[in-house]
């Protein structure tokens, strides 16, 4: 079984990775992050089919997020920086999972919420009380909005996975940063829909986009702010 995490093809067996189109074992060159995609022009060396650019972008964001951590290195311990990078990789993996499957599984969001409650004081000096209020406030507000929208329109606007992820970020960044977090996530999502419809010259009001990547990007930005 091959899983994709943070843009790297990782096999659950003995570390072999496979082409996700022809399912043949990837050659060594295909395992070099970023460069393999550029050298092979996004194609699989074996079947010559175009590979999903999502993995290239995930590798690129792994690198970019690593650089953002280098900017906030001062005054923090090595273990804090390693943990922060682990969060970055987790968020990239979660975003990809949401894009590919339109799901934010409980197995990922709930431990992230629990870790936020337990570790935000250690990582970013967020008061435990602020963290608890952030988790409850974020979950409650968006939960009510999701339920109301669902009842009024008879369809899902904000998924329950999104609600749990918002609650988790509330625990990580504290209740004070919640309004800005929700604002940034919504505005970046709306901006993406607008730019995309301009690019493809087509607008579909009913089209749903995965909200997870926008939550992860805005949450990461605010997490770095509180980390400083």
The residues that touch Zn ion, with contacts defined as CB under 5 A, are 19, 21-22, 44, 46-47
Beta carbon of residue 96, minimum distance to Zn ion (angstroms, whole number): 19
Query: Which one, 44 or 182, has the nearer CB to Zn ion?
Result: 44
**Smaller CB distance to Zn ion: residue 48 or 225?**
48
Q: Minimal distance in Å, beta carbon 32 to Zn ion?
A: 16
DSSP bridge pairs for 181: none
Decide if 218 contacts 181 (C-beta within 8 A): yes
- One-character DSSP codes across 101-133: HS---HHHHHHHHHHHHHHHHHHH---HHHHHH
Which residue lies nearer to Zn ion by CB, 37 or 181?
37
Q: How far is the CB of 14 from Zn ion (least distance, A)?
A: 20
> Cα-flanking dihedrals φ and ψ of residue 10, to 5°?
-120, 125
Residue 148, Cβ density class (10 Å: 0-12 exposed, 13-18 middle, ≥19 buried): exposed
Choose between 44 and 126: whose C-beta lies nearer to Zn ion.
44
């Amino acid at each position: 079984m091959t899983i994709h995490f943070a843009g790297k093809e990782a096999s659950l067996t003995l570390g072999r990775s496979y082409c996700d189109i022809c399912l043949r074992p990837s050659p060594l060159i295909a395992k070099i992050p970023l460069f393999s995609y550029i050298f092979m022009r996004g194609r699989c060396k074996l079947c010559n089919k175009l590979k999903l650019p999502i993995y290239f972008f995930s590798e690129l964001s792994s690198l970019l997020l690593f650089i953002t951590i280098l900017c906030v290195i001062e005054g923090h311990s090595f273990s804090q920086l390693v943990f922060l990078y682990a969060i970055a990789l987790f968020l990239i993996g979660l975003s990809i999972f949401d894009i590919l499957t339109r799901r934010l599984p409980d197995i990922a969001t709930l431990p992230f919420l629990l870790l936020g409650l337990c570790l935000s004081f250690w990582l970013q000096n967020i008061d435990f009380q602020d963290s608890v209020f952030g988790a409850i406030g974020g979950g409650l507000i968006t939960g009510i909005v999701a339920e109301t929208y669902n009842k009024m329109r008879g369809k899902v606007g904000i998924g329950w996975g999104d609600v749990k992820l918002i609650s988790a970020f509330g625990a990580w960044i504290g209740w004070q940063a919640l309004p800005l977090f929700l604002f940034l996530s919504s505005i970046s999502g709306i901006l993406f829909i607008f730019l995309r419809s301009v690019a493809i010259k087509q607008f579909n009001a009913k089209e749903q986009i995965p909200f997870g990547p926008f939550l992860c990007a805005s949450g990461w930005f605010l997490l770095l702010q509180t980390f400083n």
